[in-house]
Amino acid sequence: MVTSVSWWEGAVVYQLIPRSYSDGDGDGIGDLKGLSGRLSYLRWLGVDAIWLTPIYPSPLQDGGYDITDFKNIHPELGDLAAFHRFLTSAHAQGIKVILDLVLNHTSHLHPWFQRARWAPKGSPERDVYVWSDDPNRYAEAPILFRNFETSNWEWDEVAGQYYLHRFLRHQPDLNYENPWVQEQMLGVVDFWLQKGVDGFRLDAVPFLFEAEESRCEGLEQTHDFLRKVRTFVDNSGKDVLLLAEAIQPVEEAAPYLAEDELHAAFNFELTAQLFAGVASGNSKNLGLCLNKAQEVAPGSCWALPLRNHDELWLGDGHLVPEEVIQSIRAGLHQGNGHWLNWGINRRLAPLLNGDPRANRLLHALIYSLPGMPCIYYGDELGMGDWPGLRDRDPNRTPMAWTPGRNGGFSTAPDPLLVLPPITAPGYDYRVVNVEVQKHLPGSLLNWHRRMLTCRRLLPALQAGGFEILDSGHPSVLVFVRYIKNMTVLVAANLSAAGASFHLDLSRWEGASTREVLWGCYYPEANEKWFVYLSSYGFNWWLIGEVEETK
């Protein structure tokens, strides 16, 4: 039964890489058994849903986004029975589960692709992928993985043709012009719906269809197919989230949020502006981006990540000025800010020069702005990374649970570990881990938990209206979130210097103001309400008393 309020309204999502989260069988690789054992931690932290990066069989040439069987589990992670046990136990603890669904491509080792290359040219089997005799077809489609590929086409000796791959050459693009492909992928959606999952993060949605003289992104046919997915899910009667990954500016991502299309889309432009804001100490572009996001998709749900398993996208030189990008890279704590395909492949903490105040500030913003906050595993601890690792592995290393062996991630000997746990100075797992931080009242981890608790108690932050107020200070973003009986005022200082300013709160003249986190009263609202925020400081205040709803 579809309820009137969907489960994701007001939800906080936690993204994790199962292979790097917790190893339940001691082979050095995180798995579903290990993850099941950590659900109580996630419940304690206060997240509503977890998004798992791909868990399907895969040769792992692209972190599992190269799939050989969409309806199974990678043997290193478990099997379908283990998935069932994990899902049942997540649901029993009130945690929803979102799977990554890769629609655009498969692994080159997928049986469909192997069959296609051996099948005669023009046959239905060959037609499952996109082939060409000419590698200049769709010449305007940009190369996405610029660090690894020089063409979107790869010559296949057996087929005697080129095949299209918008990502790695190990990831041939499926041919969505072929109704069989569409039917199969809807079958995949159905398979996991029947298993009881609560949502899908739809990977790389802009690239499903191609057309000459276009960038082959977000074409009308692509939107048509996504509407089919939506109708399919709606017809199942299940309350299932469809979340789009389109690494594009707000205007280009907004069409996926049309009423009959997907429920949510990541706002990567906002992510870029949050980092740029902190790097430049200026809140102007952040404010503009926030207003634009509300205008282009009013009432829609933007998902708000700070970091994820990919690079930090800063907008291809159009969104964030070059000097700000350079200052983010220069400010990196340890190692250099390695530029991969389209961004920086580092974790949040080192990107913020190891400053926990900036970690708090950026999370306080995503926890209070309109949209669905997305926490990347380990960022609740301020976990570090390993800059020297290949591709995007620097920010995919094992979760730090304890000060013990391998940070409590696995009991396996070091050489067997999926990736090395962090021992870099300042981020060593013997110091930065769940167990230690749980015991320290002032830790980042306890702060996140407290913030999530407060957020849960403030429905205005979950689904309220949004309006930016003028702070008169270049570094400070101020806004209100409101519902009928509750108004929350938020102020955030993006600068490393303290900021004092006055706010015009005359429309709430005489109302009480109370700081939320510690319950401290401030002077009554007036026309010239004085605020001081320390370096990277922020505050949430309730304006007026919360009226009981009858």
245 tagged catalytic: yes
Point out the residue whose Cβ comes nearest to ligand GLC: 65
Helical (H) or strand (E) element with 373: strand 372-376
Site string for ligand GLC, 502-541 (x = CB under 6 A): ----------------------------------------
Q: Which of 47, 73, 159, 204 binds ligand GLC (CB under 6 A)?
A: 204
Stretch binding ligand GLC (CB under 6 A), from 57-65, 82-90, 254-262, 365-373: 57-65
Residue 177 CA, distance from chain mean position: 29
Site string for ligand GLC, 168-187 (x = CB under 6 A): --------------------
* Residue 51 CB, nearest approach to ligand GLC (Å): 11
The answer to whether 130 and 173 have CB atoms below 8 angstroms apart is yes
Report the residue count for the chain: 550
Nearer to ligand GLC, 25 or 316 (CB): 316
Q: Which of residues 258-317 bind ligand GLC (CB under 6 A)?
A: 309-310
Site string for ligand GLC, 76-115 (x = CB under 6 A): --------------------------x-------------
Nearer to ligand GLC, 202 or 445 (CB): 202
Catalytic residue among 31, 76, 245, 261: 245
Q: Which of 24, 63, 199, 421 binds ligand GLC (CB under 6 A)?
A: 63
* Residue 63 CB, nearest approach to ligand GLC (Å): 6
Q: How far apart are CA 271 and CA 376, in angstroms?
A: 13
Q: Which of 23, 31, 62, 393 binds ligand GLC (CB under 6 A)?
A: 62
Cβ within 8 Å of residue 121, ≥6 positions away: 131, 159, 160, 161
The answer to whether 344 and 328 have CB atoms below 8 angstroms apart is yes
Nearer to ligand GLC, 62 or 380 (CB): 62
* Residue 167 CB, nearest approach to ligand GLC (Å): 4
* Residue 398 CB, nearest approach to ligand GLC (Å): 18
Tell me the residue type at 336: N
Q: How far apart are CA 309 and CA 393, in angstroms?
A: 8
Q: Which of 14, 131, 162, 167 binds ligand GLC (CB under 6 A)?
A: 167
Burial 18-41 (b: 16+ CB within 10 A, else e): bbbbbbbbeebbbbbbbbbebbee
Catalytic residue among 203, 310, 380, 391: 203
Residue 403 CA, distance from chain mean position: 28
159 is written with which tokens? 């087929």
Q: How far apart are CA 534 and CA 38, in angstroms?
A: 36
* Residue 517 CB, nearest approach to ligand GLC (Å): 34
Tally Cβ neighbours within 10 Å of residue 523. Answer: 10
| DSSP one-letter string for 272-290 | HHHHHHHHHT--HHHHHHH
| Secondary structure class of 260 (helix, strand, coil) | coil
Q: How far apart are CA 55 and CA 37, in angstroms?
A: 17
Q: Which of 203, 311, 380, 385 binds ligand GLC (CB under 6 A)?
A: 203
* Residue 352 CB, nearest approach to ligand GLC (Å): 22
Size of the site for ligand GLC (CB under 6 A): 10
Helices 356-368 and 444-457 sit at what angle, rounded to 10 degrees? 20
365 is written with which tokens? 């913003």
Q: Which of residues 233-262 bind ligand GLC (CB under 6 A)?
A: 245
Q: How far apart are CA 49 and CA 300, in angstroms?
A: 19
* Residue 65 CB, nearest approach to ligand GLC (Å): 3
Site of interaction with ligand GLC (CB under 6 A): 62-63, 65, 102, 167, 203-204, 245, 309-310
Active site residues: 203, 245
